[in-house]
Amino acid sequence: MNHKLEIDTPTLQAWLENGHSIEVIDIRPRVDYEAWHIPGSLNVDAYRAIYAHSPGPLADYHPQDGKQVVAVCYVGQTSKIAAQYLASRGIEALSLTGGMQAWSLTWNTAEVPLAQSKAEIVQVRRTGKGCLSYLVAADREAVVIDPSVDPQVYLDLAAQRGCSIVKVLDTHIHADHLSRSRALAELSGAAHYLPKQDRAHFRHQALEPGQAIAFGGSQLEAIHTPGHTFESMSFVLDGEALFSGDTLFLDSVGRPDLKASREESEARARALHHTLQNLASMRPDLIILPCHTSQPVPFDQVPLMSPLETVADKVEALRYDQDQFVSWILDRIPANPPNYEKIVQLNEEGVLPALDPTLLEAGGNMCAV
């Protein structure tokens, strides 16, 4: 294989951010493309055909305006064959090294504008997976919420703002990505907070409902928002923004069933209904900042956020009574995230695997209903 036919994920991300003239083709089966893909990519479902030693739909494929092509598959093997085939037809084509598995670690940032708080919020978007985390900086101190990319990313973002990370929080024990909280707290010397629970088997500070988390003249208030998990908390920044974890998303709500029996799922669904009713009664202009998005994150530096009143308009389930809500949610539970039991176990142990974390974390966000 000619190595010049490959492109790595940082280069592809830079090309996409800079508007480089390329066409990204995702050769995986349609169902997997629809579950998660690179923003702007086209699906040319040639995967099975290539396995059968045929170009399949690639035979009739022509990039728009003769653009250079980047082919993407699961781990970057089949896409090499696709790129070779296209090159044999005179089309300039590259294969994404490591495929969607490697892509799952890519990230970008967007600034969240605030009207009253003096704090600055940086939304860190794991573009390849949909995890959203936050660095909140105020007067040389920063707090990180739900870190899901390499801890060094947050250390660099804080340093760029002249801040030290003093506190690291998780909204709950995560099931679809490996928490980087403990590693970040150890690297930065920050205090590590988790909602009070008996699941985490490592040293941390347990947050009580109503507890204030002060930093740099700003304050986060912890509110207990059970439902997605029983320990789930959300954090209100200076009365203006709500870090809603996997409880409330911009167009959906958290799933109540992971690692739960049918009975526990129903109990969590009832708790979630109560939680969501409480959240829905907060000030309508409260900025909602969730921990996940179920759409691939574009390279537009536009933060994923909405005022509560917009979210309440979009999410019809917020208007259901409890029984309606519970049957609605239990009837439409999605598939379990890949490897979630192992991910939960590692997050309860506070351990990051020695091997490539993307092996466990591949696939899009599945925490929403």
Residue 92: both structure tokens together? 């300039």
**For Fe ion, the closer CB: 158 or 315:** 315
Minimum separation from the CB atom of position 131 to Fe ion (A): 10
**Does the footprint of Fe ion cover residue 6 (CB under 5 A)?**
no
**For Fe ion, the closer CB: 237 or 367:** 367
**For Fe ion, the closer CB: 121 or 367:** 367
**For Fe ion, the closer CB: 103 or 340:** 340
**Does the footprint of Fe ion cover residue 367 (CB under 5 A)?**
yes
Number of residues that bind Fe ion (CB under 5 A): 3
Residue 280: what residue type? Answer: A
**For Fe ion, the closer CB: 37 or 174:** 174
Which backbone phi and psi does 67 adopt, to 5 degrees? -65, 155
Residue from 13, 290, 297 nearest 129 by CA:
297
Segment interacting with Fe ion, rule: CB under 5 A, options 34-42, 185-193, 242-250, 317-325? 242-250
Residue from 155, 194, 152, 158 nearest 174 by CA:
194
Report the half-sphere exposure of 222 (CA within 13 A, side-chain side). Answer: 24
Segment interacting with Fe ion, rule: CB under 5 A, options 179-187, 244-252, 261-269, 335-343? 244-252
Identify whether the C-beta of residue 204 lies closer than 8 Å to the C-beta of residue 197.
no
**Does the footprint of Fe ion cover residue 23 (CB under 5 A)?**
no
Residue 61: both structure tokens together? 């494929």
Q: Where are the beta strands (DSSP E) in the chain?
A: 6-7, 22-26, 42-43, 68-72, 93-96, 108-112, 120-126, 131-138, 141-145, 164-169, 191-195, 205-207, 212-215, 218-224, 233-237, 241-245, 287-290, 306-307
**Does the footprint of Fe ion cover residue 246 (CB under 5 A)?**
yes
**Does the footprint of Fe ion cover residue 344 (CB under 5 A)?**
no
Minimum separation from the CB atom of position 176 to Fe ion (A): 6
**For Fe ion, the closer CB: 32 or 170:** 170
Q: Binders of Fe ion among 165-194, rule CB under 5 A? A: 174
Residues that bind Fe ion (CB under 5 A): 174, 246, 367
